[in-house]
Chain A
């Protein structure tokens, strides 16, 4: 290969060799795996993947399945409330902590520690706290309010909110920390200027500071949304999808179809739908961020 002009393929050779794991992961696992799953979602795969085409059959069955519809509904409820609440609470807490308070480290440590714990641990703790026989309900009843009922994990119509409580407890700290980092990145002159102009603090936050923190909001949003779609461990640990099928979610549907019911085709179709859901959020964001102008 040692000709006058070296073959461009071999320029920077070591770097290319070093990047092989990244290239292999990107091409084989991420692209290859995704395409494979999408292709097989149009087949009649059962216990084993088989290339027997059935068109959109799997998708029709999926959308006829009551369990799938409940899964989607749960994800929508959980996702919407989680998004709104995690951002409102996370931002308000960050703004409070940003007031040059004492014991900032202690308070931040306490609010963030749940994030270090797994969803399994989170789910099990809240299963215990929300246990009507021993937990919050029994304590309030013990205080004299005999008819008090708070048993979200045993009441199918509100069970998903019991999961939401646990999810919020685990995830708010992360958003709070991100928001705090964003607030600290704001030039203090902005605050001085708005004080000179006599703008009330809440207005400064809403109309000046938050728009300036757009990048932080975008990254936090992306992290939170992908986390919501992945929601699985928390459900398995806290409710197991129950009572009945009241807290089923798409990720659990996929797992159960693939590894418990030997119904691979359904699993592939459901996971493709999950991919589509994420794409609805990610693609516009990517076009907004990277489309049009090229960033270095």
Chain B
């Protein structure tokens, strides 16, 4: 504080010697601030409104929805739509709600996240520290693979999965997610391991540690943040997937997103908007929870994966 004050007064007298320091003081209610905060608040409200509407609609009864305004909070709060969405809503012929599909999604997401991260971290480590001839070629192909539209590879993978008997099965979908998670995760880990000081690696080498020894005892303990980022990236990505779910699993094994779409966009029966919105929130809950809890790390994941690449 004192610094700012002295330099501010000094600046008046002897600008040539010492320029003003610290941020330029602003009046709290300057026109600039009103415009700035005004714009940001309007934008923030715009972005928040859909979530507000989702929650409000899901807490209303159908009669109130027919009469009222979608922005208005419920006059009478009811949790029935949530219960119905979870255990009674119909996808096609069976009416067991989303609960079963929630567990499908869990069974898909957990192994996919673990497998893809294990593979990608070892790959990234090999690329960063144990470069072998041709490694860069494969890595380049892998990265370009990330840009190939999935549609091009959809059918060949159907054939491959059918050959090993996993087509239409949760296991097949796990393999597909592990494959398509590889490019971005390998890039993430390679960049991270490259940024670690090489001396550590060399010292461990001199001490006689091998490939796995260094990986488990030197690299892993130093890489908790990047593993967290990778988990966040993968859990949201895999949980939110729709295309692979609908292509590689059958109705019994559908992930939650596919079931949600079937519930809401069904053409049979009366549309129950409150149940639909409750089902929508239920499906969005896991990634939203991760997002709000991880906050900064989520942002860092996007930034690290993208800016460095």
Question: Which A positions have Cβ atoms within 8 angstroms of B?
Answer: 8, 11-12, 14-16, 18-19, 21-23, 25-34, 36-38, 40, 49, 93, 96-97, 99-101, 105-114, 116-121, 124-129, 134-135, 138-139, 142, 169, 173-174, 177-178, 181-182, 185, 215-216, 219-220, 222-223, 226, 229-230, 232-233, 236-237, 240, 250-251, 254-255, 258-259, 264, 267-268, 270-272, 274-275, 278, 282, 286
Q: For the complex formed, measure the closest distance between the CB of B216 and the CB atoms of chain A, giving whole angstroms.
A: 13
B144 at the interface (CB under 8 A from A): yes
CA distance A220 to B302 in the complex (A): 10
B166 to chain A, nearest CB (A): 14
B302 (CB) vs chain A CBs: closest residue: A177
| In the complex with contacts A15-B126, A101-B40, A125-B54, A258-B239 CB distance below 8 A | no
A118 and B284 contact, CB distance less than 8 A:
yes
Residues of chain B within 8 A (CB-CB) of A29 are 145, 153, 156-157, 160, 179
**Most central of A38, A112, A233 by chain B CB within 10 Å:** A233
If A22-B142, A28-B160, A255-B151 are given as contacts, then 6 extra A-B residue pairs at C-beta distance below 8 Å, sorted by A number, are: A26-B141, A96-B36, A117-B240, A121-B257, A125-B54, A264-B155
Contacts of B141 in A (CB 8 A): 26-27, 30-31
- Indicate if the CB atoms of A118 and B147 lie closer than 8 Å: no
Contact A22 B139, CB 8 Å, known A134-B65, A251-B151, A275-B152? yes
State in angstroms the CA–CA spacing of A178 and B182 once bound together.
22
Interface pairs A-B: 3 shortest CB-CB = A118-B240, A30-B145, A15-B130
Contacts known (A116-B288, A116-B298, A178-B306); A124 close to B156, Cβ less than 8 A: no
Smallest CB-CB separation from A226: which chain B residue?
B147
Question: In the bound complex, do residue A139 and residue B69 qualify as a contact, i.e. CB atoms below 8 Å apart?
Answer: yes
Q: A237–B144 Cα gap in the complex (Å)? A: 29
Interface residues of B in 221-276 (CB under 8 A from A): 236, 239-243, 246-247, 257, 260-261, 264-265, 273, 276
Q: B171 at the A/B interface (Cβ < 8 Å)?
A: no
* Cβ-defined contact, A254 with B273, below 8 A: no
Cβ of A117 and Cβ of B47 under 8 Å apart? no
Q: Are B23 and A100 closer than 8 Å at their CB atoms?
A: yes
Which of B5-13, B80-88, B96-104, B289-297 participates in binding chain A?
A: B289-297
Query: Given the complex, which residues of A lie within 8 Å of B179, measured CB to CB?
Result: 25, 29
Contact yes or no, A120 B126, CB < 8 A: no
| Residue B114 interfacial (CB < 8 Å) | no
Q: List 29 A-B contacts (CB under 8 A).
A: A19-B135, A25-B182, A29-B157, A30-B144, A34-B153, A99-B36, A107-B40, A111-B47, A113-B288, A116-B290, A117-B240, A118-B284, A120-B283, A124-B276, A127-B264, A128-B277, A134-B65, A178-B302, A178-B307, A229-B149, A232-B243, A250-B151, A255-B243, A255-B246, A259-B247, A267-B155, A268-B155, A275-B148, A282-B144
Q: Is the CB of B243 within 8 A of A129?
A: no
| Complex Cα spacing A111 to B309, Å | 24
Question: Chain A residues near B51 (CB, 8 Å)?
Answer: 113
Q: Using Cβ atoms and an 8 Å threshold, which residues of chain B touch A110? A: 44, 47-48
Q: Which of B49, B138, B307, B309 meets A19, CB within 8 Å? A: B138
B292 touches A109 (CB 8 A): yes
Known interface pairs A111-B44, A271-B154. Does A219 touch B306 (Cβ–Cβ under 8 Å)?
A: yes
- In the complex, what distance in Å separates the CA atom of A40 from the CA atom of B287? 38
Is B280's CB within 8 Å of the partner chain A? Answer: yes
* B109 interfacial contact with A, CB 8 Å: no
Task: Give A29's nearest chain B residue, CB to CB.
Answer: B179
Let me know if B211 is at the binding interface, CB within 8 A.
Answer: yes
**CA gap between A135 and B69 in the complex, in Å:** 8
Question: Of A38, A97, A134, A177, which is within 8 A of B303 by CB?
Answer: A177
